[in-house]
Structures are given as C-alpha cells and as structure tokens.
Amino acid sequence: MLLRRVVAHLRKQEWTAIAIDFVIVVIGVFIGLQVNNWNAARLDRAREALILDRLQSDFSRLRASSLVNIDDVSRDYDGLDAVVRSLAHRAVAPADADRFRDGLRWGYHYQQLAGRSGTYVELTSSGQFDLINDEALRAALVDYDQIVSDSATGFLHIRSLQTAMAPAFTRHYTLSAEAKVDVDESSTVDASFYSALADVDAYDFANMLADPSFRDSAEELRQMQAYYLGWHRTQFDLVESVCERLAVSASRPCTTPQAETPAR
C-alpha cells in the first residue's frame, strides 16, 4: 500500500508527500532493525547467563578436586620427606613412623590435574566463547585450560622417571596384598596401582641404609612429588582466578561441593 502511495505521489509530483513517505520507510526499517538487535542481545545475554551457570558448576567441581589433589600430593611429599630424613638420621623417629610408611606406599604415586572444563571446551569448539562479555574471565579460562594441556607432557616425563626409580625404591619392603608385582624399567605395569591395593606390610631399614640406590631413588622421588605439588597448587590458583571472575560476572561465588576422594 505504501508503495502505491509513493507511485501516486510521484505521478502528481507531490514532493512533500514523497519525503514524508520516505521518512516513514526509513523509520520503520530502523525500528525493525533495532527490535531485531534487542532480541538478539536479549538471547545472547540469556545464553551467557546459562554459560556462566555451567562454568560455575564446572569450576566448583574442579576447585573441590584440586583441594583433594593438593592434600593427596602433600601427603606423598611429606611421606618421602620422612623417608629421606630418616635415612639422614639413620633411624625412623616415632613421630615419623606413619609418614615413613606413607612415603614407601605412595612414593611413586602421581595424581593428574583435575581436568578441563567441559563447558569451556564446548564454547571454544562451537565458536561461542565470545558470548562471555567479561574479558578478564575469558583470559582466566584460557590460562586455566593452558596449564591443564601443558601438564600432560610434563607429567608424562616425570612419570617415566618415577617408573625408572621404582625397582630401586621398592626392593626393601613388602605390601600386605596377597601378591606384589615387581616393576622393572621395561614393565608397563603402573606400580602405584599395586601400592594402592595394600598398606606396607614390613620394611628392612638396615638394608635401606646400606643401599645407595634406595637413598638416591627416595631423594629423586621426593623432588618429583615437589614438582607435582607445584603444578597442583598452580592449578588451584588458576581455578580461584576463574571463580573470582565468575563471582563478578554471575554475582555469586563458586560453591565447593564435597569432592569424592579418588581411589589411590
């Protein structure tokens, strides 16, 4: 109908009416575009709110897992430290007895980082990462995911060194399991799997003192656990950075549900 009016005005050379019709068309198009933009922005904000909720769920879980991992690896390091200290003092002090056994049991254990955020992976793979408006939150998410990815290579290298140390470290004690599998350098068996099945049954401290390879392996394994502990603490710090930004963007902090202690 508007087009017919314009044509009629053109035939009659009614320029004022033509101008008015033109303005009406421009205003109508502008309003239509604005309504579309408002609707798109509203949908984007709704999607962002859902994304923030999912990220909070992910990082609440990751935060709880990181705390458990730090506790586990700290126990592994403290146990090995008790072993090294006892060798230096040539006796196991009563106060170190439990930690000494923990060191023997968990000395070559390792704990992977808590893992990636499934929501982050989905956002980056689908091209929706920019739906998050908070630039600082985006940067914190990238930093967190980077350390998890980088750890894979570092952990693999340290794990190979731990496996090489296992034969020297495990030769002077027995586990309470029905059978203890000997792990040599060429074995694909993960010695920490068997140590998780049983506690230390008995150990020969005199032979440990007389065996330089045992002392060297204990010191090397302690250093490896120190590396692990550093990685896990760094991961926790980055999880905290993400949670702090989520508290700003979503107006509520990450909760920390009770995490299940992983089987060791």
Per-domain residue ranges of the chain:
58-249
Give first-to-last CA distance, the chain, whole Å: 78
Burial class (CB in 10 A: 0-12, 13-18, 19+), 141: buried
Q: Which of 220, 166, 215, 222 is nearest to 195 (CA)?
A: 166
The dihedral over CA atoms of 221, 223, 227, 233, expressed in degrees to the nearest 10, equals: 100
pLDDT in tens, 106-119: 888 888 888 999 99
Contact 88, 171 (CB under 8 A): no
Q: Is the pLDDT of residue 260 over 60?
A: no
In this prediction, residues 190-200 reach a mean pLDDT of: 56
Question: Lowest mean pLDDT: which of 7-11, 158-162, 184-188, 256-260?
Answer: 184-188
pTM, entire model: 0.74
Choice between 107 and 90, residue whose per-residue pLDDT is larger: 90
Residue 226: per-residue pLDDT: 95
